[in-house]
Amino acid sequence: MSVADLDSPLPPLPPGTPPPVPRSSFRETIELVAVALLLAFMLRTLVVQAFRIPTGSMEDTLLVGDFLLADKFTFGARIDFGPIHTRLPGLRRPRTGDVVVFRYPLEPDNDFVKRLIAGPGQTVRMEDRRLYVDDVFIPDAPNAKHIDPQVLPGVLSPRDNFGPLTVPEGHYFFMGDNRENSRDSREWGFVPEADLIGRAMTIYLSWNPDGGIPWFDLLHKLRWNRLFRSVR
């Protein structure tokens, strides 16, 4: 076909053929919105999801008012669609030290974020706040903290002394980095693998909820030094 052929007028329609109906701009707008919504739904379901931190259980790794992104592809995205409940293949298994978003086993409508301490088949124990997994000492995360100088005996509370406990197959043991101010597996037990949502990846926004700062003072409300910080 020559260049001249491309510029030639289209052949006339056969007799009796109705002329093509032009697409309305309103219909095109609706279609574009529908495609955008579908892509956003797939992105949130399969790739990444945003969460807000409402409590101080992970201080100082995560602060109240942090907004983070959790990737779903590392562990494999969970699919819940009608009667379908499955998990796609992931890049790797969860491991000790990962900060993970999961469904709270006692209230599945609520999402928690904690640090993964031990996985299936591993044995975890704590002696006077010293944490061991399979008899290997696990140091605190760099930004973890202790707010109570008193060490509680195991007969009073599992906060500072517990175990040894062996994690059942298909389950995980989690703890908050704010060790004396966290409701976690020491209190309510193990998390089924099916309840894992994703790996905490990046803090994309951080907002200081301190009531002493006026809500409209954005320069002081925003924690600029935490924007786009990786979660470790």
Q: Where are the beta strands (DSSP E) in 154-219?
A: 162-166, 171-175, 191-192, 196-206
Catalytic residue check, 145: no
- Is 114 annotated as catalytic? yes
Q: How far is CA 205 from CA 67, 160, 188, in A?
A: 5, 33, 30
Query: How far apart are the C-alpha atoms of 134 and 125, rounded to whole Å?
Result: 8
**Could you check whether the bond before residue 209 is cis, i.e. omega within 30 degrees of 0?**
no
Question: How many Cα atoms sit within 13 Å of 144 on the Cβ side?
Answer: 20
Q: Which residue out of 72, 114, 182, 206 is catalytically annotated?
A: 114
Q: Find the catalytic residue in 2, 25, 57, 230.
A: 57
CA distances (Å), origin 27, targets 21, 23, 32, 34, 98: 12, 7, 9, 11, 46
Instruction: Enumerate the active-site residues.
Output: 57, 114
